[in-house]
Structure 1
Amino acid sequence: MAGMNLFRTFALLALLSGLIVLAGYLLVGNETGLIYGLGFAALGSFGSWYYSDKAALAAFKAKPTPRDDAPELYARLDQLCDRAGIPTPALYLVPSESPNAFATGRDPNHAAIALTEGIIDLLPDDELDAVIAHELTHVRNRDTLTQAVAGTLAGSLTFLGRILTLGALYFPMARAGGRRGSNPIAILFLLVIAPFAAGLIRMAISRTREYAADAGAAEITENPMALVRALETLEAMGQKVPIHGNPAFSAMFIVNPLSKEGMMTLFMTHPSTADRIQRLKDLADKAIARQTEAAALSPTA
């Protein structure tokens, strides 16, 4: 399952990058368009690799928390990081009563975990540990980078389409020589179809990585039911107390902080909580079955 999730993620990222290259070619109509597309994809990926953590933390006014201010929380974070096999990330607090959490950073050595004040006050220790373990799995799997790249590529595609389409419409010299910039189908693709498809691909990438992070949290804590209880609580409380910030970063949170009604279901950045809970319960059942089998095979049984 983990290998399949990874394959799907890379396939979706490749498809997203391909859309950018295709957008450039359709508009310009020759190899120059391919260069535009590749250039935007490369620059967007580099920018998201290096600056994604700063942008995400600033979007939600997250404040760095020194060890002296939260020694117990850092002690638990250190223990979970030892189990996950990664360095301890920087800890940030988000001044919001909405219970949620996210991870960001370009790699495990430059990562940060952000917890809202609401989630710290709401969850008991074992459930908060499960949430932190979920975010640490994102760091370990480099999902923080994957999500940032996907978001930047999707945004780059929209930006590329608007800039080049406006150029083709208002600067005829830009489409001299029979280039495809005057093709209304190409313009429709660049302004509507490609950005919409890019958004859906980005959401699919996020949903795939959430399943892997849930499984990682169950492995680190050896307590999948703690995450089940946490998800149930966060699902119930998150919609009642929304978090305020840039919705472009919604994919980073452990539960979707946006509305889940009507057309918004098409743009869900997370799998349904019910589906996530069922998968975690299946993991718990398998763990119990393994323990029962091991006990039955034990010489002292």
Structure 2
Amino acid sequence: MATLKTGILMAVLTALFMGLGALIGGTAGALIALVVAAAMNAFTFWNSDQMVLRMHNAQEVNSATAPQLYSVVEEMARNADLPMPRVYLLNTDQPNAFATGRSPDHAAVAASTGLMRRLSREELAGVMAHELAHIKHRDTLTMTVTATFAGAISMLANFAFWFRTDRNNMGLIGSLAMMILAPMAAGLVQMAISRAREYEADREGGEICRNPLWLASALRKIEAHAQDSVNEAAERHPATAHMFIINPLHALGRDKLFSTHPATANRIEALREQAGRMGTTAAPRAAGRRAPPVSRGPVSRGGVSEGPVSEGPWGGEAPDTRRGPWG
């Protein structure tokens, strides 16, 4: 059902985009809009993962520089029968995570240092399982294409306003209405797609980690802490907000007008019902004591840190990730 709904909403976005082109330039305008959309999405298809990772200053890690995070992703990837994705850290105190990439063979997952400090291993497994579910169902590509369409629709609406001609027969009022309503409609469709995919990724993530309560507990913690911290990179690039497991734009009042994510309480309730159906009752273990302030060392070629990377201990005594936090 979620896949069918996503397909319908994508078709609506495509129709809206071509309709704008037709209003601006008739049949020729619609064809030009289609060509532009195809070109933009072709570029996005091949470059979306690196674009998003650069926007958020993500640093690639491996089993030597971040063994805790890497081992959890590795285990969840095995459970999901997926290739091992590239693993990145986001240097922000806001607990959050996202996945990107055009396919399971070209995917990456990223977790923030704030997330690593605040979650237990089981909760982290739930989060990574959720992100791998997005990869498994190619939601990362769907959401990237959706964001591209939404941006293109806004561009066309502005173009129609500033370059009004007698041919489009809309006039000032019509152009103003289109400039406001078209991007709003695109945003609503984008939010609808994102919300549908979040519920599905939660369900699949609960199966991948084999305990939906781990993800439910993680969502509750992330929601509580995300509201009190600012993700500067996300604020600079709000079009990427739908990619995160929890809306990263909670901190500023203007970001609460629309939400790309369903209510966290509803997601938690759905996960608890899933746990009941699976007969799972084991809650995640509590995370260890809080870690010292985040400290990142220099980064060598390939994004691998040469110095210590503080992620927060789950039982360890030092912030250097070369020491395992769960033993």
Alignment TM-score > 0.5, same fold: yes
CA distance in 2, matches of 1:278, 1:73: 27
* Structure-2 change in CA distance of 1:182 and 1:228 (3 Å): closer
* % same residue: 39
Task: Tell me the alpha carbon deviations over residues 140-183 of structure 1, each in whole angstroms, 9 at most, x when there is no partner.
Answer: 11111111100010000111222243222xxxxxx4xx622553
CA distance in 2, matches of 1:133, 1:234: 15
* Structure-2 change in CA distance of 1:184 and 1:236 (3 Å): same
2:144 pairs with one of 148, 161, 165: 148
* 1:293 match: none
- Name the SS of the counterpart of 1:91 in structure 2: strand
* 1:196 match: 184
- Name the SS of the counterpart of 2:72 in structure 1: helix
Report the alpha carbon displacement of residue 31 of structure 1 after superposing the two structures with TM. Answer: 1.2
* 2:20 match: 23
* 1:79 match: 75
For the pair 1:52 / 2:48, whether they are aligned, the reply is yes
Count residues with an aligned counterpart. Answer: 277
* 1:281 match: 272
CA distance in 1, matches of 2:171, 2:33: 18
* 2:262 match: 271
For the pair 1:33 / 2:21, whether they are aligned, the reply is no
Task: Tell me the alpha carbon deviations over residues 119-155 of structure 1, each in whole angstroms, 9 at most, x when there is no partner.
Answer: 1111000000000000000111111111110001000
Report the alpha carbon displacement of residue 57 of structure 1 after superposing the two structures with TM. Answer: 0.8
CA contact (8 A) 1:91 1:114 kept: yes
CA distance in 1, matches of 2:254, 2:90: 29
CA distance in 1, matches of 2:158, 2:212: 46
1:211 pairs with one of 199, 221, 231: 199
CA distance in 1, matches of 2:232, 2:251: 16
Counterpart of 1:223 in structure 2: which amino acid?
N
Report the alpha carbon displacement of residue 223 of structure 1 after superposing the two structures with TM. Answer: 0.4
1:239 pairs with one of 227, 230, 234: 227
1:167 pairs with one of 163, 168, 175: 163
CA contact (8 A) 2:72 2:124 kept: no
Which residues of structure 1 form unaligned runs of 5+? Answer: 169-174, 290-301
Report the alpha carbon displacement of residue 70 of structure 1 after superposing the two structures with TM. Answer: 2.0
* 2:242 match: 251
Counterpart of 2:242 in structure 1: which amino acid?
A
CA distance in 2, matches of 1:286, 1:53: 35
For the pair 1:220 / 2:208, whether they are aligned, the reply is yes
* 2:133 match: 137
* 1:10 match: 7
CA contact (8 A) 1:250 1:269 kept: yes
Counterpart of 1:33 in structure 2: which amino acid?
G
Report the alpha carbon displacement of residue 262 of structure 1 after superposing the two structures with TM. Answer: 6.9
Report the alpha carbon displacement of residue 36 of structure 1 after superposing the two structures with TM. Answer: 1.9
CA distance in 2, matches of 1:65, 1:155: 31
CA contact (8 A) 2:226 2:250 kept: no
* 1:298 match: none
CA contact (8 A) 1:165 1:181 kept: no
Report the alpha carbon displacement of residue 73 of structure 1 after superposing the two structures with TM. Answer: 2.8
CA distance in 2, matches of 1:260, 1:67: 33
Counterpart of 1:254 in structure 2: which amino acid?
I
Task: Tell me the alpha carbon deviations over residues 30-64 of structure 1, each in whole angstroms, 9 at most, x when there is no partner.
Answer: 21011122122212222221221112111111011
* 1:296 match: none
* Structure-2 change in CA distance of 1:189 and 1:17 (3 Å): farther
CA distance in 2, matches of 1:37, 1:181: 18
CA distance in 1, matches of 2:272, 2:35: 45
**RMSD of aligned alpha carbons:** 1.8
* 1:114 match: 110
* Structure-2 change in CA distance of 1:143 and 1:201 (3 Å): same
